[in-house]
Structure 1
Amino acid sequence: MTAVDDAPARPAPTNRWQRTVGPLRERDFALLWFGELVSSFGGPFQGIAIAFFLIHQGLGPFVFALVIAVFSVSRTVGGFVAGPLLDRYPRVNFLLCANVVAFGASGSVLLLTLTGQGIWLLVPLLAVQAMTAGAYLTAMSSIAPSVLPPEKLASGNALIQMLSQLPAVVAAPAAGIVASAAGEGTAIGINVVSYAFAVAAGFAVYRRRRAGGVPQASGRASFRETLRDGLAGLRFASGEPWLRLLLVVEMVGSAAAAGAMVIALPFYADKLGGSQAYGFLVAGFGAGSIVGMLWFGGLARRTGRRALLICALLLSQGVLLAMLGLLPSGPGVVDLALVGAANGISNVAFAGLVQTVIDDRFLGRVFALEAVATSVLAPVGHLSAGALIATWGSTVALGIAGLAMAATAAVGMAARSVRSIDAQ
């Protein structure tokens, strides 16, 4: 399952740019990456369209947050279930299946939106799509060792992490304009079309690997075996003090960030100009993330393990988010760009740390636990932000969420286990 296509040895990259784009010379990785890149361009179109579709239905902040909370719970379930399966079955095949299900769910969301059947009929479909999103995130986080040689993992992780932010720079502003001018249905339709590219690319890689003799299965799993494997991964992670602490820090910090970025940010943007302003704010976050990921990925040979850095970056994100609600639109975009840069670096650092330290047999389950940690308390963050916005407004909600993130990160920075893993 970790085999990489046989090929003559290539000269080692000599500069940062060559190291950063080196993984794209591996054909399977390049096919998957470009397919997911096109697909991810559709993500902001549906995300912005659904957010403002819900707001335009006349929902208050708390009900809006409740709908988003359902999405987060479903994503958590999908991420957790994906972990044991990814350690049992080929990750490329699993990713293809996730994209096929997401394609069908997104198409169904489009049909319901165009027919005007109402918000509550969308909730089950959004839940299915959220489950596939959780599975997709876990699969992409753990797929690099399956399609890349060890020396290209750091740069490959940077390129993979960019998939969630690169389209935001162009697609998010465009999505805001399309949703405002042509309606939410058109924006969601663009997302449906983009999924087709990911499905096609995944199928091409599946056929290549099957023709090349790469093993296509490593054992069938019953529900009981899947649950057993998941619990084994949980026991493994709990036995690593540094990993356990980082997951708790991510869990609490991500809950606060979910309230700020998913709930408070659209209402903050609505005061500044609606969906178009929201698109530019999201683009600022995405641009910052890309810069951070590329810069850190190019430093692969000199970085090593950075558990303390991850906590410090989370602290800086909290401080910046706490300031956001006090800023007008222009400085707000800059603020979110800085938040994005810190987030991008920490994501690449965490992926590299886990792939370096954790046994490959547990890799899928550890990344599944990380996906669960980042989303399991998100509903609490969503509902808390919704209540705060309804009572005191988006500025207070952003401030409280940011301070909660910073306080959690400070606890992580003070922990001995975080410093000990960096010293190894």
Structure 2
Amino acid sequence: MRHLLTDTNFRRLFTGRLVTNAGDSLYYVAAMWLVWELTHDPFYSGVAGFLTMGPSALQFLFGPLVDRWPLRRVLIGTQAFQAVLVLAIPLAAYTGHLSVWVVLAVMPLLALANQLVYPAQSAALPRIVDQADLVDANSAFSLAYQGVDLVFNAAAGAVVALAGAVALYAVDSLTFVAAALLFAGVHIPVAADEQPTAGTDGAGDPPADVAATDGGESSADDDAATGTVDDATTGTAPDGYLADLRAGLTVLRGSFLVLVLAGAAVVNFASGATMASLPAFADTVGGAGAYGTLMAGFAAGNLGGALVASRLDHLPFGKLNVAVFAVNGTLVAAAAVAATAGAPLLVVVALFALAFIPVGVGNVLLSSVVQAAVPESKLGRVSSLVGSASQFAIPFGTLAGGAVAGAFGPVAAIYVLAGAALLLAAYWLAVPALRTLPPVGDIDTLD
């Protein structure tokens, strides 16, 4: 993994990912706690979760745009937009107009911007690293995501406890500015499966319109900057957009990825319910600091899984996932029992952290499976379809979790998550097309 950091493009993209994730962590903890602080009602926590997670179900709509627009500009533009928007909360507080409705209005707009960021990063990664390095690269990205969450979730909880949630929004704006500057230095080549054959363009260089249609960089990128009308601007016409969307669906249709997503919907619903109940649970055991600690526990488990994922990529992916979800469900159930019994907060956090180590492994390997199985020129739209399909149940889970926490207490949603994970393990075991999936390196490219 260390050799990847010697590549300037990867290093800048990776560092930008670190800073972006830091901003997301600060924002999420601040927003969810601010909603709870303003209302003390778990129902509103559920609504906040729905508005934050809901746009992820629309990610598939952004995939064709990611494949057509210059990826570097997508990354820079989204960070700049978020840097400005997040300042609405400190401004509202300063002018005396802060309310839960202002916070709820900002949340989905920031989340919508992120639906471009992560597919763009996923589409860029196979273009700047060799396929043999994809698992290591995805492990590094997952480490960035979970490692930053581990540190900044805990730090955010501490800052909220000391200075209040509004202060975090101002800091968050600076992280988005820093990420935009880092992404500005990344060069993303044309997709390999869109490269013209030798002699196509005289000297063998890719013609300008290739980069414009698949998100790479070429002279079309420069033309777009000066206002020249070419495929960079006309390629997003409705007919072309819908054709790209259909092409992504065609890749997925009938593949094993559809079965993967069907099972993920159930456990993601339960995960959303758990996330919505955590502010109410944390308030009973220690307040904002406890909330940050719980969120850090989730991140610690995923981080541990990301650390070991590259050492497990030789194992059959199907059987590994059976073990992943069985262990996760068992340990989440243990955490729920501990919480019900009044165990110390650190015991509950430790059980959560252990429960999500196998999930961290599975997430890294699944990203590598998608990148290995999908042609590069379609990766943006397919990644966004996969993201939407796997995430669409989470916002509805958060709404249900808020209602369940209000009616039965916040621990009830944790029991639901445990049961869903165990059901998912049984599902992977029962479906031959999933159970028999080979190691990541042996996955064939989909047509």
Distance 1:292 1:60, change over 3 A: same
Give percent identity, aligned residues only: 25
Give CA-to-partner distance per residue, 1:136-173, whole Å, 9 cap, x none: 22222332112212222111111112222111222222
Aligned to 1:10: none
Query: Which aligned segments of 4 or more residues in structure 1 are displaced greater than 6 angstroms?
Result: none
Give SS of 1:122's match.
Answer: helix
The letter of the residue matching 2:71 is R
Equivalent residues of 2:265, 2:392 under 8 A apart: yes
* Partner Cα distance (1:69, 1:170) in 2: 25
Aligned to 2:272: 258
Give CA-to-partner distance per residue, 1:225-265, whole Å, 9 cap, x none: 3233223312321221x1110011122211111111x2122
Aligned to 2:328: 317
Unaligned runs of 5+ in 2: 191-215, 222-230, 443-447
Structure 1 residue 54 corresponds to structure 2 residue 68: no
The letter of the residue matching 1:315 is A
Structure 1 residue 373 corresponds to structure 2 residue 359: no
* Partner Cα distance (2:263, 2:189) in 1: 40
Equivalent residues of 2:9, 2:186 under 8 A apart: yes
**When the two structures are superposed, what TM-score results if normalisation uses the length of structure 1?**
0.87
Give CA-to-partner distance per residue, 1:183-213, whole Å, 9 cap, x none: 111112111111111100011225999xxx9
Equivalent residues of 1:114, 1:185 under 8 A apart: no
1:217-366 alignment runs, 5 A limit: 219=232, 220-240=235-255, 242-260=256-274, 262-300=275-313, 302-303=314-315, 306-327=317-338, 328=343, 329-366=345-382
Equivalent residues of 1:310, 1:350 under 8 A apart: no
Give CA-to-partner distance per residue, 1:327-365, whole Å, 9 cap, x none: 231111211211331221111110111122222232212
Unaligned runs of 5+ in 1: 1-19
Compare CA radii of gyration and give the structure with the larger one: 2
* Partner Cα distance (2:92, 2:404) in 1: 31
1:147-158 alignment runs, 5 A limit: 147-158=128-139
Q: CA deviation at 1:114?
A: 4.1
**When the two structures are superposed, what TM-score results if normalisation uses the length of structure 2?**
0.82
* Partner Cα distance (1:291, 1:350) in 2: 16
Q: What root-mean-square deviation, in Å, do the aligned CA atoms of Structure 1 and Structure 2 show?
A: 2.3
Aligned to 1:14: none
Q: CA deviation at 1:106?
A: 1.7
Equivalent residues of 1:245, 1:412 under 8 A apart: no
Q: CA deviation at 1:109?
A: 3.4
Q: CA deviation at 1:61?
A: 1.4
The letter of the residue matching 1:50 is A
Aligned to 1:4: none
Q: CA deviation at 1:69?
A: 0.9
* Partner Cα distance (2:41, 2:63) in 1: 36
Give CA-to-partner distance per residue, 1:265-284, whole Å, 9 cap, x none: 22222211011112122222
The letter of the residue matching 2:7 is E
The letter of the residue matching 1:312 is A
* Partner Cα distance (1:124, 1:231) in 2: 32
Distance 1:223 1:402, change over 3 A: farther
Match of 2:140 among 159, 163, 168: 159
Deviates more, 1:25-34 or 1:102-111: 102-111
Aligned to 1:383: 399
Distance 1:207 1:400, change over 3 A: closer
* Partner Cα distance (1:47, 1:365) in 2: 26
* Partner Cα distance (2:172, 2:377) in 1: 34
* Partner Cα distance (1:134, 1:312) in 2: 30
Give SS of 1:204's match.
Answer: coil
The letter of the residue matching 1:204 is G
Give SS of 1:234's match.
Answer: helix
Distance 1:374 1:266, change over 3 A: farther
* Partner Cα distance (1:390, 1:299) in 2: 41
Distance 1:278 1:46, change over 3 A: same
* Partner Cα distance (1:141, 1:339) in 2: 26
* Partner Cα distance (2:142, 2:94) in 1: 32
Match of 1:97 among 66, 77, 80: 77
* Partner Cα distance (1:113, 1:377) in 2: 33
Give CA-to-partner distance per residue, 1:96-139, whole Å, 9 cap, x none: 22222222222223323444431212333211101112222222
Q: CA deviation at 1:385?
A: 1.1
Equivalent residues of 1:45, 1:171 under 8 A apart: yes
The letter of the residue matching 2:241 is T
Aligned to 1:188: 169
